[in-house]
Amino acid sequence: FTFFDVEDGLTDCDYDYLIIYDGEDTTGTVIGTYCNNNVPDFVTATNATGALTVVWYSDGSVTYSGWEATISQVCSNRPVADAGSDVNLCTAGDVNLGGSPSASGGTPSYTYQWTPATGLDSETIHNPVASVSNTTTYTLKVTDSEGCSSIPDEIQIDVNTPSDVFSSDFDETWYVCQGTFKDNGGDNDYLNYSNYTQSFFPCETGKMVKMTFTSFDLEYESICDYDWLKVYDGPDTNSTLLGTYCGTNSPGEVISTHSTGALTFVFSSDISLAYGGWEANVSCVCTPPVVDAGPDQISCPGGSVILGGSPTASGSVPPYTYLWTPAGNITDATVANPEATQSLTAIYYVSVTDSLGCVGTDSVSVTINDSISEYYTNTDAIYYTEQGNFYSSAGSTGGYENNENYEVTFMPCGDLYSVKLEFSTFDIEYNSTCSYDKLSIYNGKDSNAPLIGEYCGTSSPGLVQATNVDGAITIVFISDGSVNAPGWSATIGKEANCDNIGTIAQISSTGDGCSSGHADLSLATDIGTNPVQWQYSYDNINFTNLPDGNTSSVTGVVIHSTTFFRAVISVDGQNCYTNTVKYNSGNNYYVNDASLTGDGWCTAISDSHNDGLTPATPVAEVMDIFNNYDVGPCDTIFVDNGNYGDKIEITASDMGSSSGYIVILGASKENTVLNTTSGADNISVLGSGYLHFKNLKVVGDDLSRTNVFNYQSSDIIYENCDFVNSKEPGIMITGGDRTAGTESDDINVLSCSVLNTSPGDNAVLIQGDCKTILLDGNTIETRGTTSAEAVYVESTGKGAPVYVTIRNNTIVADDYGIYLNGTNNTISKTAIEGNIISIATTDQADGASIKMEYAGIDASNNIDIFNNELTGGKNGLYYGSTVNFTKVYNNIVHASQNGLIATSQPTGQNEVYFNTFYNSLYNLYFNDRTNPYWTVKNNIFANTSNDKVNGCVHVIGADAFAEIDNNLYFAYDEAKVAVFNGTMYATVAAWSAVNHQTQTGNGDENSLQGDPGFRDIANGDFRIYSTSPAYELVTDLAGITNDKNGTARQIPASAGALVALPEFMGIVST
Domain at 288-371, CATH homologous superfamily: Immunoglobulins (2.60.40.10)
pLDDT of residue 738: 46
Length of the chain: 1070
What Rg value do the Cα atoms of the chain yield, rounded?
50
| Architecture of the domain spanning 1-74 | Sandwich (2.60)
pLDDT the model gives residue 213: 97
Sequence-separated (6 or more) residues with CB below 8 Å from residue 134: 92, 159, 161
Distance CA 109, CA 103 (A): 9
DSSP code per residue over 228-247: EEEEEESSSTTSEEEEEE-T
Question: How far is 733 from 743, CA to CA, in rounded Å?
Answer: 10
**Architecture of the structural domain at 502-583:** Sandwich (2.60)
10 Å CB burial of residue 238 (0-12, 13-18, 19+) is: exposed
H helix count then E strand count, the chain: 2, 93
Torsion angle in degrees (nearest 10) through CA of 687, 693, 696, 702: 10
pTM equals: 0.54
Q: How far is CA 22 from CA 27, 29, 42, in A?
A: 9, 5, 13
Residue 778: name the closest of 803, 801, 802, 755 by CA.
755
Domain range list for the chain:
1-74, 80-159, 165-286, 288-371, 502-583, 890-1070
* Position 283, amino acid: S
- What pLDDT is attached to residue 369? 73
Classify domain 165-286 at the CATH topology level: Jelly Rolls (2.60.120)
The predicted pLDDT at position 958 comes to 67
CA atoms of 517 and 534, how far apart (whole Å): 18
- CA–CA–CA angle 238, 182, 161 (5° rounding): 95
- List all residues 6 or more positions away from 541 whose beta carbon is below 8 Å from its beta carbon: none
Pair 117, 153: CB distance under 8 Å: no
Of 242, 237, 244, nearest to 257 by C-alpha is: 242
Secondary structure of residue 926 in the 3-state scheme: strand
pLDDT given for residue 10 in this prediction:
67
Helix (H, G, I), strand (E, B) or coil at 822: coil
Distance CA 426, CA 722 (A): 86
Residue ranges for the chain with pLDDT beneath 70: 10-11, 370-372, 539, 678, 702-704, 736-742, 785-786, 928-931, 958-959, 1060-1070
Query: What's the confidence (pLDDT) of residue 760?
Result: 83
Amino acid at 213: F
Residue-wise pLDDT tens digits, 454-475: 999 999 999 999 988 889 999 9
Long-range contacts from 329-337, C-beta under 8 angstroms, 24+ separation: 336/308, 336/311, 336/312, 337/306, 337/307, 337/308, 337/312
Does a cis peptide bond (omega within 30 degrees of 0) precede residue 116? yes
Q: What are phi and psi of 630, to 5 degrees?
A: -85, 85
Cα dihedral across residues 1028, 1030, 1035, 1037: positive or negative? negative
Angle CA(487)–CA(488)–CA(490) in degrees, nearest 5? 165
CA of 859: how far to CAs of 288, 793, 828, 873, in Å? 79, 20, 10, 30
Q: pLDDT tens digits for 596-644?
A: 999 988 999 999 999 998 889 999 999 999 999 989 888 989 999 999 9
Beta strands in 35-127 (DSSP E): 53-57, 66-68, 80-81, 87-89, 93-96, 103-104, 111-115
Q: Check whether the bond before 713 is cis (ω within 30° of 0).
A: no
Are 1-74 and 165-286 the same fold in CATH? yes
CATH code for the domain defined by 80-159: 2.60.40.10
Ranges of H-type helices in 601-739:
622-628
Write the DSSP assignment of 327-340 as a string of letters. -TTBS-TTSSS-EE
